[in-house]
Structure 1
Amino acid sequence: MVSTNDTPNRANLTKGRVDKFACPPGKTQSFLWDRDVTGLAVRATQAGSKSFIFQSRFGGKPIRITIGGLDAWDISKARAEARRLQTLIDQGVDPRIEKAERIKKNEERRKELQRQAVTFREVWEAYIEARMDSWGDRHLYDHRQLMQPPGIKKRRGKTPTTAGALWRFLDMRLADINDETIMAWLEVERGRRPTVAHRAYRTLRAFLNWVSETPEYSGIIQPSAILNNRVRRLVPSTGIHNDTLQKEQLATWFRAVMGIYDPVISAYLQILLLTGARRRELSPLRWDDVDFEWNSLTIRDKVVGARVIPLTPYVKSLIESLADTSPYVFHSTRSKSGHLEEPGPTHKKALQNEGLPPITLHGLRRSFGSLCEWVEIPQGVVAQIMGHRPSATAEKHYRVRPLDLLRKWHVKIEAWILAQAGVNYE
């Protein structure tokens, strides 16, 4: 209980008196009260510490508030603070609550300053950590490549690494990123590497949206204000990708690919066309993903995590021909991963040798989709085999087809493609 009666020491507070004041032996604390301002005192403890305190009554009960130590407060400031506290009491405001609220506001302000000081690097690392479990290896690799530091010696080749497309943002404060900084970045990147710049912009947009939706960082930036029309107009177009194999080119293409010296690359390219799989989801295919008994393939994709598609007869024969002790179907002793990584150059050379126009590996995936139209395969079947996101409401909720039904159509398109190519495997 605070006592207001124990006030024998009262004087006009001066620096000399305050410096000389000490707690007498046998007491735990002692007070030197100010004659000028009622309720203000210097408290000295047996341990030797001194502080200014204010004592009064609120709601009929005594209260005591520590103003602060003598190292932070001089007498004039302590008197002003004591008068302010008494004014609060006279206005019906509990100074203890006011102090607690002030401390809380200061703490909130301190935390907000810390939030505003956070760097792109710190939040990017938090983003990767939060999202990586739902990403595939390739998607994670692409994000890390965008932040690749420059000047690092490559494992292969003599030239050092160039900076990733988002590297320049790394040490910036997140709060300093605005439409002007992004426009300046796009002006540089779109001239150097337009395709990479387009992909980097999409990645940056997804990152900034995550930032705005994450409570810890919400409010630091406003993606809709940053990624405005002025910014979007600078994003380079990737163009329309329409490289596909025509029905009339199938025979020449199969001849070119079947003539490739490496049986792994040859089989991989043919299976890429005959399944419509993405290049990065097919190359790490493991033997554990192949079910020869029930004739199915488990493809690890970027949409739903994994999908099961039919193992069609010709594809099955190609895979069986690759039997190896490696855990990967499309094994490679030259890649760090242990599986096929870059079959593109070999494919390009094979096409050139046969006089075919350039077709990307993703173009083979597009070719599967377009060739399916020749045998009038239902679009939903094609989408499920290729791992496309369902579009129509009916496809999203009700039309998950069993493997046997997919097989009926998949075998049909495989047989049709091989017939057009003049390939007889039986």
Structure 2
Amino acid sequence: MKKENFTPERVAGHQCDPGRQQTIFWDRKQQGLGLRVTASGRKAYVYEGRLFGKTLRITIGAPDAWPLESYVTTDPTGKKIERLGARQEAARLKALLDRDIDPREEKAEQRAAHEARKLESRRQDATVGEAWRAYLDASRAKWSERHHKDHENLAHAGGAKKLRGTGLTVPGPLAPLMPLKLSNLTAETIAAWLEAEAQNRPTNAEQSYRKLRAFIRWCDDRPEYSGIAAQNVYNARSVRDAVPRTNAKDDCLQREQLTAWFDAVRKIQNPVISAYLQGLLITGARREELAALKWDDVDFRWRSLHISDKVETESGRTIPLPPFLASLLLDLKRINDTPPNIRQLRRLKQRGEEWQPSPWVFASKTAADGKIAEPRYAHNQALADAGLPHVSLHGLRRSFGTLTEWVECPVGVVAQIQGHKPSAIAEKHYRRRPLDLLRMWHDRIEVWMLEQAGIEFDASAARTGMHAVK
């Protein structure tokens, strides 16, 4: 092995021996330092030593990047910087091998530590908005479409053109927190945000706080976000004191109001909206649950509805289909299954479209997803025509739960029909009422409602019509 004292000029002049893929020249001054020159002219400093009796060769780098000797320079700010030379790097590698340390492992550990620092830096720089989007994406499969949309609206930045009316949308209650870093989500920040939001929209602020609390808990369970926000930041006394105290809603139809309500709702010209509103009161279902009902979920023969449950998210729940509500759905099915006239079919064909019955029970030709979207306007108009106080769509669900007490229906039956979690040990572990038992009580509830509303209805004829449906 021929050695020579490396100089910048000699390093620049070395070439690969003819007929070989590479040639290595060795430095006499620094033991183990070599210069590898390939047939293509590429050069690199290498170090060769022994570790545990085996030869180890490590690439240091190209002469363009590694000077032969260390030297000191200054950066634009005047700070002195030492540039390590190839000889000094070779001496460092030799020292590691002399201590039985593998430089490759040391480099891998340094790289891992560097990546860990970068990851932690990115973690600490993560904003609430970034984590919020990840939270929504991770929860999409477990939430209903409306529940997911509610979370999006709460954090919406606003400023977009309104879909109805004029002007621009206002920012959601959570929008001020979205640009903040998660590390800046402190009790003081949340308390100040709550106080500001509570001045104009206390109910939304209280709901947003509960969703923010669930979001922070989710972050604590995720490796990429855990430990960034202060622990239990949502439980600090300053935060709890700032949460607006909202009164529970108590809008509910009374027994003596049923006549006026049914009369006004049955006069709504849109049969889909009319049947939907009556279905909300008769079943006590959540508005999104009933709106998402498909014809495949309706069994006229066995008089049942399969509803996508907020609680039983995977399997949903099956509830009875009382005769009067079944007759309303039969009317909707006849409308849904009736094809358009020849002129309308011709127009569809010209557009390259083909008519098919809607899969949705409460279908809408104007809604983007094909099902009923906003029945509140028709309901509010019906309440005004009937001279009744305001009752929300959720108030109809509340009305069902309240009115069932008039027929002395067991609380557990009502909870099972409405999809509430069991509230007692016996209900949770020892009560699983079959559909026919629920149907007996549900039919009584519907009959009582119709009697109070003064509606004459032949349930036996309706049952006959249902058995005729395939």
Shift of 1:373: 2.5
- Given that 1:136 and 1:301 are in contact with CA atoms closer than 8 Å, whether structure 2 keeps it comes out as no
Equivalent residue, structure 2, for 1:29: 23
**1:309 and 2:319 correspond:** yes
Pairing 1:234-273 to 2, within 5 Å after superposition:
234-273=242-281
CA distance in structure 2 between the aligned counterparts of 1:221 and 1:397, rounded to whole angstroms: 40
Equivalent residue, structure 2, for 1:399: 431
- Given that 1:22 and 1:30 are in contact with CA atoms closer than 8 Å, whether structure 2 keeps it comes out as no
CA distance in structure 2 between the aligned counterparts of 1:394 and 1:283, rounded to whole angstroms: 32
More displaced 10-residue stretch of structure 1: 129-138 or 381-390: 129-138
Pairing 1:345-360 to 2, within 5 Å after superposition:
345-360=377-392
Letter in 2 for 1:150: G
The match for 1:158 among 161, 166, 173 is 166
Shift of 1:222: 4.0
**1:364 and 2:364 correspond:** no
Letter in 2 for 1:318: L
Shift of 1:46: 3.1
Equivalent residue, structure 1, for 2:335: 324
Letter in 1 for 2:319: I
CA distance in structure 2 between the aligned counterparts of 1:44 and 1:21, rounded to whole angstroms: 7
Letter in 2 for 1:208: I
Equivalent residue, structure 2, for 1:92: 100
CA distance in structure 1 between the aligned counterparts of 2:185 and 2:200, rounded to whole angstroms: 21
Letter in 2 for 1:268: Y
Pairing 1:163-182 to 2, within 5 Å after superposition:
163-170=171-178, 172-182=180-190
Equivalent residue, structure 1, for 2:456: 424
- Given that 1:24 and 1:30 are in contact with CA atoms closer than 8 Å, whether structure 2 keeps it comes out as no
Letter in 2 for 1:414: E
CA distance in structure 2 between the aligned counterparts of 1:264 and 1:10, rounded to whole angstroms: 95
Equivalent residue, structure 2, for 1:276: 284
**1:286 and 2:294 correspond:** yes
CA distance in structure 2 between the aligned counterparts of 1:169 and 1:320, rounded to whole angstroms: 49
Equivalent residue, structure 1, for 2:42: 49
Shift of 1:91: 3.1
Shift of 1:410: 1.0
CA distance in structure 2 between the aligned counterparts of 1:172 and 1:42, rounded to whole angstroms: 52
- Given that 1:276 and 1:385 are in contact with CA atoms closer than 8 Å, whether structure 2 keeps it comes out as yes
Letter in 1 for 2:226: G
Equivalent residue, structure 1, for 2:304: 296
Mind listing any 5+ residue stretches in structure 1 that lack a counterpart?
1-5
CA distance in structure 2 between the aligned counterparts of 1:149 and 1:112, rounded to whole angstroms: 28
Secondary structure at the aligned position of 2:26 is classed as strand
Equivalent residue, structure 2, for 1:65: 58
What do the CA deviations read for 1:27-78 (whole angstroms, capped 9, x no partner)?
412223151x433333333332333333332223332222233333332223
Secondary structure at the aligned position of 1:73 is classed as coil
What do the CA deviations read for 1:349-408 (whole angstroms, capped 9, x no partner)?
433444433222211211211222333322221111001123334433442221101011
With over 3 angstroms needed to count, the CA separation of the structure-2 counterparts of 1:185 and 1:73, relative to structure 1, is farther
CA distance in structure 2 between the aligned counterparts of 1:226 and 1:18, rounded to whole angstroms: 62
What do the CA deviations read for 1:105-156 (whole angstroms, capped 9, x no partner)?
2233334444444455554444333332232221232233234453333343
CA distance in structure 2 between the aligned counterparts of 1:30 and 1:167, rounded to whole angstroms: 63
With over 3 angstroms needed to count, the CA separation of the structure-2 counterparts of 1:30 and 1:105, relative to structure 1, is same
The TM-score, its normalising length taken from structure 1, stands at 0.85
Equivalent residue, structure 2, for 1:3: none
- Given that 2:285 and 2:397 are in contact with CA atoms closer than 8 Å, whether structure 1 keeps it comes out as yes
CA distance in structure 2 between the aligned counterparts of 1:70 and 1:184, rounded to whole angstroms: 58
The TM-score, its normalising length taken from structure 2, stands at 0.78
Secondary structure at the aligned position of 2:49 is classed as strand
Secondary structure at the aligned position of 2:199 is classed as helix
Structural RMSD (CA): 3.0
What do the CA deviations read for 1:166-211 (whole angstroms, capped 9, x no partner)?
4445555555544444444434433343333333333333333333
Equivalent residue, structure 1, for 2:353: none
Shift of 1:223: 6.5
CA distance in structure 1 between the aligned counterparts of 2:41 and 2:235, rounded to whole angstroms: 62
The match for 1:207 among 198, 215, 231 is 215
**1:9 and 2:3 correspond:** yes
Equivalent residue, structure 1, for 2:75: none
Secondary structure at the aligned position of 1:227 is classed as helix
Shift of 1:244: 2.0
The match for 1:227 among 222, 234, 248 is 234
What's the % identity of the aligned pairs? 49
Secondary structure at the aligned position of 2:403 is classed as helix
Equivalent residue, structure 2, for 1:135: 143
Mind listing any 5+ residue stretches in structure 2 that lack a counterpart?
71-83, 337-356, 459-470
- Given that 1:212 and 1:218 are in contact with CA atoms closer than 8 Å, whether structure 2 keeps it comes out as yes
Shift of 1:220: 5.6
CA distance in structure 2 between the aligned counterparts of 1:100 and 1:407, rounded to whole angstroms: 68
CA distance in structure 2 between the aligned counterparts of 1:400 and 1:387, rounded to whole angstroms: 13
Shift of 1:277: 0.8
Aligned pairs, number: 417
- Given that 2:123 and 2:228 are in contact with CA atoms closer than 8 Å, whether structure 1 keeps it comes out as no
More displaced 10-residue stretch of structure 1: 264-273 or 161-170: 161-170
Shift of 1:94: 2.8
CA distance in structure 2 between the aligned counterparts of 1:70 and 1:177, rounded to whole angstroms: 49
